[in-house]
Structure 1
Amino acid sequence: MNRCEQPRIFLIGFNKCGTTSFHDYFTANGIASVHWRANTLALALHRNRAEGRPLLEGIDRWTAYTDMNCIPGSPWGRSNSDGAPLIEGCRYFRELHRDYPEALFILNTREPFDWLGSRLQHDQGQFAAAYKRAVTRDGILTKRQLKQRWLMDWYEHHAEVLSYFQNAAPKQLLVFHIQATPVKKLNRFLSPHFSITQRRFPHNHQSAKRKS
C-alpha cells in the first residue's frame, strides 16, 4: 500500500506513556514516524491551528505522529521554545480528526499515578520544573499543585477523547494501556492499512513494565 492510500496515525495520549516505544514500533514496521522533533511538531500544529491552516501543513511528510509537545525551556540550555506557549498536541485531537477524517487515533495510556512519577523524574526533574514555570500564571506554585493539575488534565483529556470518538468515529480509536493491553490489539487495529511484520511492542523505558 502506498503512502497516499494509508491513513495518518496520531498518538493522542500524554508523553511518558510509551511514546518512544510507539515511534520505534512504527518505524520497525516501515511506517514513517516522527517523535517530538525538539518542539517543532507542536509549534507547527499550534501555528497552523491559530492561522486556520491544516494542522500538518509543513510537517506532513510522515504517517505517524508521536509526542507532539512543547514545554517552554526545553530542550534544556538550547531551546527553540523560549517565549512559546505550553503546547500538548494530543489535546488537538478534534482538529486533527477534522483535517484528517480517515486518520487512526491511539490513546496511549497507563496507570495515572505511575505516569505522575515518570513525569516528575523525567530529565532529572527538569521537565517538571519547566512545566511548573509555564503554568505559574495559573496559580501552580508547588509540586503538589502541579501533580493536581496533571491529574485534572489526565482525567479531563481521557474523558473528552472517549466521548468524542464514541460519537464521531468509534472504529478509528484504539485505547492502548502500555502496561496491560495485549499488543495483538494494536497489530489488529493497524493491519487493515499497514503490513505489520514486527509484531512485538518494544520496551524502551523501565518505568513502564509492559508485557507484549
Structure 2
Amino acid sequence: MPPLGNPYIFCIGYNKCGTSALHAFFEANGIASVHWDGGLLARTMLSNAVEGRKVFDGYDQDYRAFLDMFFFNDRIAIEGIEFFRLMDRDYPNSLFVYNTRDMQAWLQSRRNHASKAAGSLLQRYLMILNTTSETIVLDHWAERRLRFEAALATYFAGSPRLLTVDIDAEDVPAQLADFLNLEPNAAAWRRVNATARP
C-alpha cells in the first residue's frame, strides 16, 4: 500500500475523458497506475463491493493511481467511478481527480468509440437500454453524467481532496503537479488513444 503521505489517487472521470493520457502521465512521473485492465478493474470493484471487501482489493497493493473503471457488454454497464463514496470510505485521505471535458465533445467521442476487442460502445449501450434510438443513449449518458457531477459537488463540497480538471486545458500537468505535490514531467502529457472523428 502507498505509505503515509503518498495517498491513493482515484481518477473518477468517465472514459473518453483523457484516462489514457492521465495513465501515461502518472507512469512517466513514477506513479504506479492501473487503467481499465480489460474491464477487469470495474468487475473486481463490483465483486469486492458485493463480497464486503475493500473496493480495490487485489489491486491496492500494487497500484497508487486508478483510472478508467468501466466494464460494458451488451447486457450491463459498470461505471466504477460511481463507487467514489466506497473509495473514500475504504481508503481515507485519498485524492480524487475528476477528469472531464466539454459535454458535447465527450458525447460524440463516446458515440464514435469502438475497439477491436469489444466493438462499438454505442451499439452495446443500445442493447443495454433495449432501444434503437441513439438519442435515448446520448440523453442517458448526459443525464447520468450530470447526476454524477451533482453528487460529487455535494459530497466533496469544500474538500481540498478533489481536483476537477478539464483535460483539454493547456495547464493540465501543472494542475496535477500542484494537487499531487510532484514535479511534473510535462512532456509526458499528450493525447493517447483518442477516438477518431468520422
TM-score, scaled to structure 1: 0.83
Q: Answer yes or no: is 1:4 the counterpart of 2:17.
A: no
Q: 1:71: which partner in 2? A: 72
Structure 1 residue 207: deviation in Å?
5.9
Q: 2:82: which partner in 1? A: 91
Q: 2:120: which partner in 1? A: 126
Q: 1:196: which partner in 2? A: 183
Structure 1's consecutive aligned runs of 4 or more residues displaced over 4 angstroms after TM superposition are: 205-208
Q: 1:187–1:199: 8 Å Cα contact kept in structure 2? A: no
Q: Answer yes or no: is 1:18 the counterpart of 2:18.
A: yes
Question: What letter corresponds to residue 32 of structure 2 in structure 1?
Answer: A
Alignment RMSD (CA, Å): 2.0
Structure 1 residue 196: deviation in Å?
2.8
5+ residue gaps, structure 1, are 74-82
Q: 2:92: which partner in 1? A: 101
Residues 75-129 of structure 1: CA distance to partner in whole angstroms, max 9, x if unpaired? xxxxxxxx7x420111111110011111110000000000010001101771111
Question: What letter corresponds to residue 127 of structure 1 in structure 2?
Answer: L
**SS state of the match for residue 38, structure 1?**
helix
Quick one: percent identity of the two aligned structures?
Answer: 35
Counterparts of 1:27 and 1:196, CA distance in 2: 13
TM-score, scaled to structure 2: 0.88
Structure 1 residue 204: deviation in Å?
2.1
Residues 146-180 of structure 1: CA distance to partner in whole angstroms, max 9, x if unpaired? 0110110111111111111116xx11000000112
Q: Answer yes or no: is 1:179 the counterpart of 2:178.
A: no
**SS state of the match for residue 120, structure 2?**
helix
Counterparts of 1:161 and 1:20, CA distance in 2: 22
**SS state of the match for residue 157, structure 2?**
helix
Question: Structure 1 residues 190 and 143, CA, compared in 2 at 3 Å: closer, same or farther?
Answer: same
Q: 1:44–1:59: 8 Å Cα contact kept in structure 2? A: no
Q: 1:23–1:35: 8 Å Cα contact kept in structure 2? A: yes
Q: Higher mean Cα deviation, 176-185 or 5-14?
A: 176-185
5+ residue gaps, structure 2, are none
Q: 2:12–2:96: 8 Å Cα contact kept in structure 1? A: yes
